[in-house]
Amino acid sequence: MTWLRRALLAVVLAGAALAAVPAAAHARSATATDAVPVVADAAPATAPGILTSQPAGEVGAQATLGCPLPYLATGYGPVAQCTLVDGAAGRAGFHSPLTRQFSPSTGWLRVHAVGWYSWNNGTIRGWTSLETAYGPAVWATQYLGGQGRWGIVNLITSRFYPGSGWMPIVR
């Protein structure tokens, strides 16, 4: 699952610069046995996150950034795993509310469907599915108690594949 590891390594630094978090910062990488089965919830009545406008591409066009909330506490400050959508293309990455910067962790992928996703009674959520070599997927966050972790929900297998260790949520 090198695509999963690569997709989850980048994170926004709490300064003006963007950088990647080394793999050692994550408790462990996801394997097939770590996968969590997911059951889709009814469409959420309220958005389980935020949508903002962000610069996209080299020409400075505006795109929509969707981030599930709450943010997770990292060594670099609060960070959310988000999806940036510009027309029919999207990319996953990380967003810092401190710097207001988005650091992509994937290249541009074809958008499968735009909208909020929620599974397992709202404990796993993300925004917009993207086409991957393994089928449509949502870069999502799983919440449990006062902590969360990032990963990817594959819409074909209906499983959440964690890509980070558990981190405290920012309240």
Determine if the peptide bond prior to 70 is cis (ω within 30°).
yes
CA distance to 19, 57, 154, 158, per residue, from 126 (Å): 23, 22, 12, 14
What is the model's pLDDT at position 54?
Answer: 67
**pTM of this prediction?**
0.76
**What is the domain extent for residue 79?**
2-21+35-168
Task: Tell whether 30 is covered by a domain.
Answer: no
Instruction: Write the CA distances from 102 to 29, 65, 154, integer angstroms.
Output: 23, 9, 23
Identify whether 26 is part of a domain.
no
The whole-number pLDDT of residue 21 equals 31
Element containing residue 167 per DSSP (H, E): strand 167-168
The total number of structural domains that make up the chain: 1
Asked if the structure places residue 72 within a domain, the reply is yes
> Is residue 27 a part of any domain in this protein?
no
3-state secondary structure string across 91-137? EEEEEECCCCEEEECCCCEEEEEEEEEEECCCCEEEEEEEEECCEEE
The answer to the question of residue 29 being in a domain is no
114: in domain: yes
pLDDT at 32: 58
CB neighbour class for 82 (10 Å; exposed up to 12, middle 13-18, buried from 19): buried
Contact assessment for residue 140 and residue 115, using Cβ atoms and an 8 Å cutoff: no
d(CA 109, CA 132): 7
Low-confidence ranges of the chain (pLDDT < 50): 1-30, 58-59
DSSP letters spanning 40-106: BPSPPSS-SEEEEEEEETTTTEEEEEEEESSPEEETTEEEEEEEEEETTEEEEEEEETTTTEEEESS
| Residue 138 pLDDT | 97
Q: What is the structure's pLDDT at 43?
A: 66
- Among 143, 110, 139, CA closest to 9: 139
Instruction: With respect to residue 126, please indicate whether it lies within any of the assigned structural domains.
Output: yes
